[in-house]
Amino acid sequence: MTRYRRQDPEITRRKFINVAMGTTATVGVVSLVGVLGTANPVFRLTRDKMPPVPGDILVHASASKEGQPIKISELSEQLVRAWPMGKDKEGKNLIRKGDPNNVLAVFRFPQGQLVPPTNLEATISGEIVAYSDVCTHAGCSVSDDDQQEGQMKCPCHSGQYDPKRGCKVIGGPPPRPLAQLPIKQEGEQLVVAEFFLANPYPFTEAEWEARIEAVKAQLA
């Protein structure tokens, strides 16, 4: 206030109040946008960037089959990369690949090989399981073309996960397991049954809880 008076002694009290109010409002809006844009990015969240949502269908992510629904009969111990596919506002199919962190890994193991800490209730028949495919260390896609059957080795820093045991870390620097995605069977297709059971990369637990609530509110 003092500075303004020094710089412009002719300014009237009303002009000063108008300027001050305008400045305050501008700063307030900028601050609010800043806060919402960083602390609560859901304000920029479009449907293609939403994480897998209950009811989504899992479709192939590989270039040769991208967008085709994954059939249960084509699954094996070989990792299959997938995207969740939901609906846009008009009800048309929409692959949620606007966020590369949405890529998933799907396996089918012989009965009895999937064991805790895998959440068996979140699998199909204790045989088919889906996880986030994004490494919890630094966000690389874990799967690549060199994956051996039943293995998940991150190509970036040699992180290793065990998909038969809840994708727990069995080597390298990842700090926590890959998040398991509950799935169910509808005909020959795989459908998302619930949100990830734990916070996937890059979310903290609190951020993930907030993201789920925001997605629910946005889709309600």
Q: Which residues bind ligand FES (CB under 6 A)?
A: 135, 137-138, 140, 154, 156-157, 159, 172-174
Choose between 152 and 191: whose C-beta lies nearer to ligand FES: 152
- Whole-number minimum distance, CB 180 to ligand FES, in Å? 18
- Whole-number minimum distance, CB 118 to ligand FES, in Å? 20
Choose between 91 and 175: whose C-beta lies nearer to ligand FES: 175
Tokens of 39: 């602390």
Q: Beta-carbon neighbour count of residue 99 at 10 Å? A: 14
Q: Report whether the peptide linkage leading into residue 69 is cis, meaning its omega lies within 30 degrees of zero.
A: no
Choose between 123 and 199: whose C-beta lies nearer to ligand FES: 199
Q: Beta-carbon neighbour count of residue 9 at 10 Å? A: 7
- Whole-number minimum distance, CB 201 to ligand FES, in Å? 9
* Maximum C-alpha span of the chain: 85
Choose between 86 and 174: whose C-beta lies nearer to ligand FES: 174
DSSP code of residue 156: T
Choose between 140 and 197: whose C-beta lies nearer to ligand FES: 140
- Whole-number minimum distance, CB 170 to ligand FES, in Å? 12
Q: How far apart are CA 73 and CA 63, in angstroms?
A: 20
Q: How far apart are CA 173 and CA 167, in angstroms?
A: 14
Residues in the chain, how many? 220
Runs of H (alpha helix) within 49-129:
none
The counts of H helices and E strands in the chain are 3, 11
- Whole-number minimum distance, CB 51 to ligand FES, in Å? 19
